[in-house]
Structure 1
Amino acid sequence: MAANDRVFGQHAVEALLSRCPERVRELRVQADRGDGRMRGLLERAAQAGVTVQPVARRELDALAGKVRHQGVMATITPMTPLGEGDLPDMLMALERRGTVPLLLVLDGVTDPHNLGACLRTADGAGVTAVIAPRDRAAGLTPVVRKVASGAADTVPFIQVTNLARTLDLLKTFNLWIVGTCGQADTVLYDADLAGPTALVLGAEGKGMRRLTQDRCDVLVQLPMLGQVDSLNVSVAAGVCLYEAVRQRRIASPVPNG
């Protein structure tokens, strides 16, 4: 059993059973847990026709390692990360449908908890895809999948070998590249995020690399009104993405009824 075949935690497993039950091959559940939430999860698994295997807690502990399993592990058919070769086809399909893309680009985020949180927020904000470098950056590990609470299996995750070249490709599809930088002259709320946009956030502590920053059409900063001078990358991603959501709702209001 490979590490990327496993999803731990009740919320993450519930999300999989709700969104893509066909990818869940089996559940292993802690045999002595019978709380209400676990009973609900087992009912959903039964409805989806998923095999459930009761096991001792020590078996789940051994499988999970340092990940909190909350009494349940799903064995899944993992979503394979895409490569840069898949990106043009995705963007052309969006153009044909008239869909305005919103991409989240993470430049060297290495903390799996941060990547998982970014994926979860990206799912909530309706992001088209999350793009990250293949090297010196976190991938779709079990920790990422658990923190993402199912979003690692709903948001396309594209790993690229050359991030600067990928940003150049996005420009050929008329995406506006918006990077975050604490020294930027433009405040986030003054930037236009309603059109085809790729939001670029840098790594924890270091920020964006110079080559990445040079590819951005505009750099923006989040106003910091207190004593700290920066936000965690996953928090900053949430602020930026939901500002894009807000602007898009104004540009294309959702009809009542």
Structure 2
Amino acid sequence: MGRRPNKRHGTANRPDPNRPRFYGRHAVYAALDNPNRKLRKLFGTHEELAKIVIPDGLAVQYGDAQDLGRLVPADAPHQGLVLEVEPLEELWLDEILLNPDPKAPLVLLDQVTDPHNVGAIIRSAAAFGARALITQDRHSPPESGSLARSASGALEALPWLRVVNLARALDEIAEAGYWRVGLAGEAETTLSEALTPAPQAIVLGAEGEGMRHNTREHCDVLAKLPITRAVESLNVSNAAAIALYAVASR
């Protein structure tokens, strides 16, 4: 795939943080199909590129599997496709809060930083018809290849907002008519008891530490999942999927 950079000085294969590289068929196909996604360059094997319709004007570079492997993290399953993109344009909270729908919950993450967890939560949120994902701008992962692959294409379908102050955002969410449910293992109320017919906002904290005190104070109710004592807690992405199912099946 062109001349290889000098090992001492070359930086050509280092991803630009402002232009993430997506890899794998689901993530790449979804990004190519998203009219709101700005595409920069598509890398691929002849076999895989022959299977897709390449958008007009998109720069393409052919290479073998080993070439593509140099563009992504070690052992990343690129499946013969790597796509360099620009992050999606920022959204505003008031846009998302227009016309709340009881069937379309909001999902808020309080300092969940693992891209695989965030990607999996985005996938579940899209699957259960969530309205949007909301995170803090300084304590959440950026768009990346690993996050996009974990989301399996859903990153292109689910609005993702980053806010400066999560507590302030929760206040605005309440004013818009949402019922704010924070998941906490020590809560007395179960999730099914905490849910109401109103539009729901599900709040989850980081693994281990959970939600911060100020975030808890801006929830209407704290609720727990009815798990047994066999395990202390669930992975945050699993908890999110269960909570979203509970909202969808009220």
TM-score (norm 2): 0.83
**Among candidates 67, 74, 78, match of residue 83 of structure 2:** 74
**Among candidates 241, 245, 248, match of residue 245 of structure 1:** 248
Is structure 2 residue 65 aligned with structure 1 residue 57?
yes
Q: Is the 8 A contact 2:102 2:198 kept in 1?
A: no
Q: Count residues in correspondence.
A: 233
Structure 1 runs of 4+ aligned residues shifted over 4 Å read: 18-26, 48-52, 98-101
21 and 81 in structure 1: CA distance in 2 versus 1, 3 angstrom threshold: closer
Is structure 2 residue 167 aligned with structure 1 residue 164?
yes
After superposition, what is the alpha-carbon deviation per residue over 1:126-164, rounded to whole angstroms, capped at 9, x for unaligned?
A: 111101112233222222122112222221111111111
Structure 1 CA distance, aligned partners of 2:166 and 2:81? Answer: 37
Between Structure 1 and Structure 2, the one with more helix by share is: 1
**Among candidates 198, 201, 220, match of residue 195 of structure 1:** 198
- 2:29 maps to what in 1? 14
Structure 2 CA distance, aligned partners of 1:99 and 1:17? Answer: 31
What value does the CA root-mean-square deviation take over the aligned residues? Answer: 2.4
Unaligned runs of 5+ in 2: 1-14
Q: Is the 8 A contact 1:102 1:127 kept in 2?
A: yes
After superposition, what is the alpha-carbon deviation per residue over 1:97-117, rounded to whole angstroms, capped at 9, x for unaligned?
A: x67541000000011111111
176 and 99 in structure 1: CA distance in 2 versus 1, 3 angstrom threshold: closer
Deviation at 1:43, TM superposition (A): 3.2
Unaligned runs of 5+ in 1: 248-257
Is structure 2 residue 31 aligned with structure 1 residue 30?
no
Higher mean alpha-carbon deviation, 151-160 vs 110-119, is at 151-160
Q: Is the 8 A contact 1:105 1:200 kept in 2?
A: yes
Give the letter aligned to residue 89 of structure 1. E
Identity, % of aligned positions: 36
Structure 2 CA distance, aligned partners of 1:174 and 1:13? Answer: 37
TM-score (norm 1): 0.81
Structure 1 CA distance, aligned partners of 2:20 and 2:202? Answer: 30
